[in-house]
Amino acid sequence: MIPTEEAKRILDTAEMIYSADEMADTVMRMAADITLALSDRYPLVLSVMRGGVMFAGQLLPLLKFPLDFDYIHASRYHDNTTGSQIEWKAMPSENVQGRVVLVLDDILDEGITLEEIRKRIMRDGAAAFYSAVLTNKDIGRPKPISADFVGVPLPNRYVFGCGMDVHGAWRNLPAIYAMKE
């Protein structure tokens, strides 16, 4: 956790990458695409905690089909700005065996966490794995996984808002910002 004044300074000096309206339109488009692809599959939808919860909360009411909902908590960042070893904090309480699973996350950065989640879900017996990420960061190199549904591209900068944090702060912003370089 950073001091309030430091958090405010970060936001005051940040560059807005996508407005709240642009992000709301993005979620609506993604909901339409996901509904078209999965409406007859009765999927188990998993939000990746903590970053994916804001995206999930906006997306779920827009999905026009029956689904089960749960969460998974796998983290590499622990409120830091760089990733480390994956820590499995919580697995879904719902059984994934034989299920079509849709995982929702805020960002596809290096792809390591999402790829590990995919491996774990498939190893636990899921029939199919889909992923939807609100943002996809251009890191300039190949990733071990690509998402089935992608909201918006991001530059290779440190970003926050829409579920993504900066030292634990600003996940709650409806727009996406990049820290001053």
What is the pLDDT at residue 77? 59
Q: Where are the domains of the chain?
A: 20-154
State the helix-helix crossing angle for 20-38 and 52-59, rounded to 10 degrees. Answer: 70
pLDDT tens digits, 135-149: 999 999 999 999 999
Q: What is the CATH number of domain 20-154?
A: 3.40.50.2020
Determine the average pLDDT of the residues in 16-23: 98
Distance (Å, whole) CA 93 – CA 140? 36
pLDDT tens digits, 161-175: 999 999 999 999 999
Determine the average pLDDT of the residues in 82-92: 77
Res 113 pLDDT > 70: yes
Res 80 pLDDT > 60: no
Determine the average pLDDT of the residues in 107-119: 95
Burial category of 142 from C-beta neighbours within 10 Å (exposed 0-12, middle 13-18, buried 19 and up): exposed
| Residue 78 pLDDT grade (very low, low, confident, very high; cuts 50, 70, 90) | low
Percentage of the chain beyond pLDDT 70 is: 95
pLDDT tens digits, 30-77: 999 999 999 999 999 999 998 999 999 999 999 999 999 999 998 765
Extract the tokens encoding 154.
């991001």
Task: Give the end-to-end CA distance of the chain in Å, rounded to a whole number.
Answer: 21
Q: What is the mean pLDDT of the chain?
A: 93
What is the pLDDT at residue 81? 53
Distance (Å, whole) CA 104 – CA 46? 6
> Alpha helix (H) ranges present in 14-153?
20-38, 52-59, 112-123
Distance (Å, whole) CA 76 – CA 80? 9
Q: Edge to edge, what strands does the sheet with 128-137 contain?
A: 87-90, 68-75, 44-48, 100-108, 128-137, 149-154
Distances (CA, A) of 51 to 74, 81, 127, 155, 163: 10, 13, 25, 18, 4
Q: Is 119 helix (H, G, I), strand (E, B) or coil?
A: helix
Which of 34, 50, 6 shows the shortest CA–CA distance to 150?
34
What is the pLDDT at residue 157? 96
Name the more confident of 63 and 94.
63
Determine the average pLDDT of the residues in 21-35: 98
How many helices (H) and strands (E) in the chain?
A: 4, 9
